[in-house]
Amino acid sequence: MNMKMLNLPLLLCLVMVLLFACQSSPEGKKVEAKKAEPVKKTVAEDAGVYKLDTQTSTVLWEGAKPGTNHKGSVRVSDGNLDIKDGELLGGKFYIDMNSISNQDIAAEGMRKKLEGHLKSADFFDVAKYPTAKFEITKVEKINGKSEGRSGSTHNITGNFTMKDATKSITFGARILIAGNMLKAKSERFTIDRTDWNVRYGSGKFFDNLKDKAIDDEIGLTISLKAKK
């Protein structure tokens, strides 16, 4: 028997292993979605209001499906942060879901196809839910030190509203306030999209998908810049 024919099944298996090895779940600390918390008025009358710079504030995302991962960004469209004595007290910001963009697909047609699918009712249904929102409910210093891969200085807890669901999440962030400027960048963290009713392709809800299921975890990195 021809040795090439004997090796063909082995070769095919190797190709499949390499193909699916290219996929990995989005990196980051997994964040648990909890019941939304009441938003307390924690801002003193003499606190300064810092307006977010929508040109430089952004949210980076990463998703995974069998065979590949995709990365992109979405714009922060508005928001204010409340600062007193060099400390973040509260605030909120809004995300323009119509601005979802992909950054790893070079072919324009394929890139636009993915972006359109993410905006559709299958995923984020931006025609019905054009805006997501994050409202801070608690800010805690991390023992006065930086820790973690991103050098987080604080833990931020807030209510994240996306589509028709609002959940409380907590993530680490590095916050720098100097004069009238604030810069904040979260550590890389992941959320389970199905907690916000984004269920398309989820193995949790569609048993027949098997190895074709899209990962439920979405990786997020939030970068904010604001000025008084």
pLDDT at 207: 72
Q: What is the b/e burial string over 25-49, where b = at least 16 CB atoms within 10 angstroms of the residue's CB? A: ebebbebebeebeeeeeebeeebbe
Report pLDDT digits (tens) over 8-40: 454 444 444 334 444 577 889 999 999 999 987
Predicted pLDDT at 224 = 98
The domains located in the chain, with CATH, are 25-227 (2.40.128.110)
Distance CA 225, CA 228 (A): 11
- In this predicted model, what pLDDT tens digit does every residue of 49-64 receive, in sequence order? 999 999 999 999 999 9
Which band of pLDDT confidence, cut at 50, 70 and 90, is reported for residue 43? low
Q: Is the pLDDT of residue 201 over 80?
A: yes
Dihedral sign for Cα 14, 16, 22, 28, please: negative
Which residue in the block uniquely carries the two structure tokens 């699916």? 20
Structure tokens at 74: 């979405």
In this prediction, residue 48 carries a pLDDT of 84
| Cβ–Cβ under 8 Å, residues 225 and 190 | no
pLDDT at 6 over 60: no
* Residue 133 reports pLDDT greater than 70: yes
For the chain, the average pLDDT equals 87
What would the pLDDT profile of 169-199 be if each residue is shown by its tens digit? 999 999 999 989 999 999 999 999 999 999 9
What was the pLDDT predicted at 74? 98
Kindly state the average pLDDT of the residues 145-167. 84
Strand-pair category, 34-35 with 189-192 = unpaired
